[in-house]
C-alpha cells in the first residue's frame, strides 16, 4: 500500500492553496492508495480574525471538498483532506478533516475535539470543538482513523480508534514552529504509533509559521518516510500485515487492565 503526504504552506486564500496543491500533484506521477493533505489545507489562519475565517469557511458540499473529490477520482486514490467548516456558532468554525473514497464520495468527517489553547495561541477564539471522536472507516483496503495536529498530545484519542480496529491513523497537522517543537512532534507521533501498534501518517504544513517534517511511522515507531523541510510529496510504502505482526509480539491492547484503567484508583493511597 502506498501513501503520499503533501507538505506545503497554505496561502491566505483558497485559490492560492489550490494552485499549490495542483502544482505539487502535477509534478507527482504516482497513483497511491492514499493522498493526505495537512491541517488548514486551504487557508493558513495565522493572524486572521474569526469573521474573516467564517467568510472563507465552507460546508462539506462546498468547492474545496469538490476539489478534493476530483483529486480522488482522477488519481484513483482515497484522499484525506482538511478544511474550515461553518458551524452553528458563527463566527467560529469547525476544524474538520474529511475522508474521501476513490469514487470521490465523502465517507467520513471529523471535527477536531481538542483545541490548541497553549503556548500563547488560542484556537478556541476561532474554532468550535467537535463532540465526537472519529469512528474508523474502511477505505482503500485499510481501516482508517483520523485525528488533527495538537491531538497528538492526547493518547486516548488514538487508543480509542485502535480498539475499534484502526490500522492507519492520519493526522493532518499545522505544527507551529518554536523551541523544541520539532522534537515534540516526532516524539509524540512515534509514541502514538508504538503504544497502539498502528501506522501513523502525518502530513504537516511547511512555511514561515510551520515546521514541515511530515512523517509516516510504522507500528514499531520507525519513521519510514520523512519530509524534512520544503514543499514536496512524501511517499511511503506500508504493509498492513505489520500491524498484526507487531500486535502479536507486543499485545499491548490485550494486556491492558481496562477495568482498572477506566475506573481509576482503588483502595487507599499514602
Residue 260: other Cβ atoms inside 10 A: 10
Residue 115 lies in a domain: yes
Task: Kindly give, in sequence order, each residue whose CB lies less than 8 Å from that of residue 103, ignoring residues fewer than 6 positions away.
Answer: 72, 73
pLDDT given for residue 266 in this prediction: 62
With 90 as the cut, is the pLDDT of residue 264 above it?
no
Question: Residue 270 — very low, low, confident or very high, per pLDDT cuts 50/70/90?
Answer: very low
CA torsion sign for 149, 181, 52, 63 is: negative
What average pLDDT does range 105-122 have in this prediction? 96
pTM: 0.96
Task: Round to whole Å and give the CA distance between 166 and 30.
Answer: 25
CB 165 within 8 A of CB 144: no
Residues marked as catalytic: 39, 112, 149
pLDDT given for residue 269 in this prediction: 52
Residues 67-101 pLDDT 10s: 999 999 999 999 999 999 999 999 999 999 999 99
Write down how long the chain is: 270
CB 38 within 8 A of CB 82: yes
With 90 as the cut, is the pLDDT of residue 267 above it?
no
With 90 as the cut, is the pLDDT of residue 42 above it?
yes
In terms of Cβ atoms closer than 10 Å to its own Cβ (0-12, 13-18, 19+), residue 196 is buried
Residue 268 lies in a domain: no
Residue 129 lies in a domain: yes
| Domain coverage including residue 180 | 2-263
Task: Round to whole Å and give the CA distance between 162 and 164.
Answer: 5
Residue 247 lies in a domain: yes
Number of structural domains in the chain:
1
Residue 59 lies in a domain: yes
CATH code: domain of residue 236: 3.60.110.10
Question: Residue 180 — very low, low, confident or very high, per pLDDT cuts 50/70/90?
Answer: very high
At how many degrees (to 10) do helices 14-26 and 63-75 cross? 10
Question: Residue 262 — very low, low, confident or very high, per pLDDT cuts 50/70/90?
Answer: confident
DSSP secondary structure code for residue 236 in this structure: E
What average pLDDT does range 4-17 have in this prediction? 97
Residues 196-224 pLDDT 10s: 999 999 999 999 999 999 999 999 999 99
What average pLDDT does range 184-193 have in this prediction? 98
CB 126 within 8 A of CB 45: yes
Residue 270 lies in a domain: no
What average pLDDT does range 9-36 have in this prediction? 96
Residue 241 lies in a domain: yes
Residue 269 lies in a domain: no
Amino acid at each position: 500500500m502506498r501513501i503520499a503526504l503533501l507538505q506545503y504552506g497554505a496561502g491566505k486564500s483558497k485559490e492560492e492553496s489550490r494552485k499549490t496543491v495542483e502544482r505539487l500533484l502535477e509534478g507527482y506521477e504516482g497513483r497511491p492508495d492514499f493522498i493526505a493533505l495537512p491541517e488548514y489545507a486551504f487557508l493558513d489562519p495565522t493572524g486572521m480574525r474569526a469573521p474573516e475565517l467564517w467568510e472563507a469557511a465552507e460546508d462539506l458540499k462546498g468547492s474545496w471538498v469538490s476539489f478534493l473529490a476530483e483529486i480522488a477520482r482522477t488519481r484513483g486514490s482515497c484522499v484525506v483532506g482538511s478544511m474550515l467548516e461553518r458551524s452553528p456558532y458563527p463566527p467560529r468554525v469547525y476544524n474538520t478533516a474529511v475522508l474521501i473514497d476513490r469514487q470521490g464520495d465523502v465517507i467520513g468527517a471529523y471535527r477536531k475535539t481538542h483545541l490548541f489553547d497553549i503556548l500563547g495561541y488560542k484556537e478556541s477564539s476561532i474554532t468550535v470543538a467537535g463532540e465526537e471522536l472519529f469512528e474508523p472507516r474502511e477505505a482503500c483496503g485499510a481501516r482508517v482513523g483520523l485525528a488533527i495536529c495538537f491531538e497528538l498530545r492526547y493518547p486516548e484519542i488514538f487508543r480509542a480508534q485502535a480498539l475499534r480496529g484502526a490500522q492507519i491513523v492520519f493526522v493532518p497537522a499545522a505544527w507551529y514552529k518554536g523551541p523544541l517543537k520539532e522534537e515534540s512532534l516526532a516524539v509524540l507521533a512515534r509514541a502514538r504509533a508504538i503504544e497502539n501498534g498502528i501506522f501513523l501518517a502525518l502530513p504537516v504544513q511547511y512555511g514561515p509559521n510551520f515546521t514541515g517534517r511530515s512523517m509516516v511511522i510504522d507500528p514499531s515507531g520507525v519513521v519510514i518516510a520523512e519530509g524534512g523541510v520544503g514543499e514536496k510529496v512524501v511517499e511511503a510504502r506500508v504493509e498492513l500485515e505489520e500491524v498484526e505482526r507487531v500486535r502479536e509480539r507486543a499485545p499491548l491492547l490485550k494486556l491492558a487492565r481496562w477495568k482498572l484503567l477506566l475506573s481509576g484508583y482503588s483502595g487507599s493511597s499514602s
